[in-house]
Amino acid sequence: MAQLNLAVGDLTGNTQKIIDHIDKARGLKADLVAFPELAIPGYPPEDLIFRSQFVRQNRESLDEVVAASDGICVVVGFIDSGGDDNYNAAAVSADGQLAGVYHKIFLPTYGVFDEDRYFRTGAACPVFVVNGVAVGVNVCEDIWYADGPTSVQSAAGAEVIVNINGSPYHAGKRTERENMLSDRASENGVFVTYVNLVGGQDELVFDGGSMAFDPAGDLIASADQFEEQMLVVDLELTDASAPRPIARRSDAASHVGQPRTVNVSGYTSVSGKPPVPRQLAQPLDEEAEVYGALVLGTRDYVRKCGFERVLVALSGGIDSSLVAAIAVDALGSDNVVGVAMPSRYSSDGSVSDAVALANNLGIELWTAPIEAAFQAYLDTLSPQFEGTEWGVAEENIQSRIRGNLIMALSNKFGSMVLTTGNKSEMATGYATIYGDMSGGFAVIKDVPKVLCYRLAEHRNRQGDGEVIPPSVIEKPPSAELRPDQFDEDSLPAYEILDPILKAYVEDDVGFDDIVGMGFDADTVKQVVALVDRSEYKRRQAAPGIKITPRNFGRDRRMPIANRFRPY
């Protein structure tokens, strides 16, 4: 199972990486090597699929992969095209010949997925005989259904299921996958091997975590998350020279296509091959898993977009400190620059915390005070603002000056700006459009505020010590845009806010039901109103890494002009 980090659209680079790993697998004496879903074009290619040139060149790249399959069976994802129809497909090749193709049957259209926009549904469930072993090949979503292709292929004699994936990460998903794959293996009495993509692509992170299960449903091998890896596993088949006879499939699975057998390669004795020690990756806890996703997603977004260095506005607060730490772990301290932009309201503690953080991380810190610019704005606007009370407009001028300055530095030096807003702020609109929302990538856009604190504490428990100053974690959060300002002046305490947001944003729980969960009705009404009227801001925000089951962006698609009120 070749768990690889591939790039969307990089047909040449992806193909070469696949061929390199075919060579590695051949050197390890493997009978079969499997690559992720749509490995050749990269996943998800989205509207690139509408470009006939892209689809054609992806098919030409497959020819190169097939030609490299001497002495080994290769399963690889690509876009198959027939006339006006495209398919999310798995090619099976051996000895330099294309033996057959499987077309994905279950096309997901929920959450971040929109596959029926691009692909037709497959109609067959082939079983491939590889070195005398009957192997069922299917793609990602296909294996989530009990009465799906796996049941058809096992009923048709398959002893091993090879499932290739581009399965994006969210917290807790590894356990969901493991439980489901165990069920498929034990229900059908087959070995199940699951190879997943790894790496970041725009808002999505693919965590790898490839796995293999025996016919009893026990996990027998697993790869690490968030790392490229070649997971090699020997499957102890009782009699590899005599695959199970073709059986009649169950009526329950009759809607997912006809089984058929394809001979790929004749039986070859494996008795002379030394056994491969079984590898079981150590599962990560939630904070380590989320932090790993954020680091990988940041590294790949910056690098795959062609940038080397990033800028982070350092306020001395928890969010910017966490983003800076993630950026350093993703890109190295030489490629991260902190930018402090103190105002008349910046506390001495915040300024010193930003300096301490920069020193701890080993990053350069630039300082650009905004007082002169702020006063110039106030002077310019004084004829229009005369006679009005100081308020949000004056506060947000400061944020927009900072956004302007850091984008100017980005423009001048070609560094990407990482924004620092968290999910709680994005949900409630507690962020300034064209101000602190300005930037190229929103690292913690899907991370609730309380989890930000847990992630900071997790980072400080690593071997290099407390890189985020304890004072940053301990002080009350504040935007510092007016005297003695704290977040709780405008929002409920985050320990109350975050569960309400999870219920309303991620779980679609209604107003009355949220109140029924024990929350104050006025507080729920305030939160729901803030979420609903901030949609226009979120639609203009930078993309950010998905780490929850439902993020703002690909997952949640609400109308901006919307008069429905749930209270």
Within 10 angstroms of residue 81's Cβ, the number of other Cβ atoms is 16
What's the gap between Cα 180 and its chain centre?
A: 20
Clarify whether 525 is annotated catalytic: no
Residues 353, 544, 296: CA angle, nearest 5 degrees: 80
Inter-residue contact 73 to 34 (CB < 8 Å):
no
Clarify whether 425 is annotated catalytic: no
Determine the length of the chain. Answer: 567
Burial of 270 (0-12, 13-18, 19+ CB in 10 A): middle
What interhelical angle do 494-501 and 521-533 show, nearest 10? 60
Q: For the chain, first and last CA: distance in Å?
A: 51
- Catalytic residue of the set 37, 159, 289, 506: 37
- Catalytic residue of the set 17, 73, 125, 140: 140
Angstrom distance (rounded) from CA 75 to CA 228:
18
Structure tokens at 311: 């800028």
Residues 176, 280, 292: CA angle, nearest 5 degrees: 60
Angstrom distance (rounded) from CA 315 to CA 368:
12
Q: What secondary structure does DSSP assign to 82-115, as a single string?
A: ETTEEEEEEEEEETTEEEEEEE------STT--G
Which residue, among 489, 312, 480, 490, has the nearest Cα to 395 in the 3D structure?
A: 480
Angstrom distance (rounded) from CA 460 to CA 452:
12
- Catalytic residue of the set 104, 304, 449, 537: 104
Strands 133-139 and 124-130: antiparallel
Clarify whether 37 is annotated catalytic: yes
Locus of tokens 């199970």: 244
Collect all residues with Cβ–Cβ distance below 8 Å to 322 and sequence separation of at least 6. Answer: 420, 444, 452, 455, 456, 459, 468
The stretches of 258-341 forming alpha helices (DSSP H) are: 286-304, 318-331
Q: Mind telling me the catalytic residues?
A: 37, 104, 140
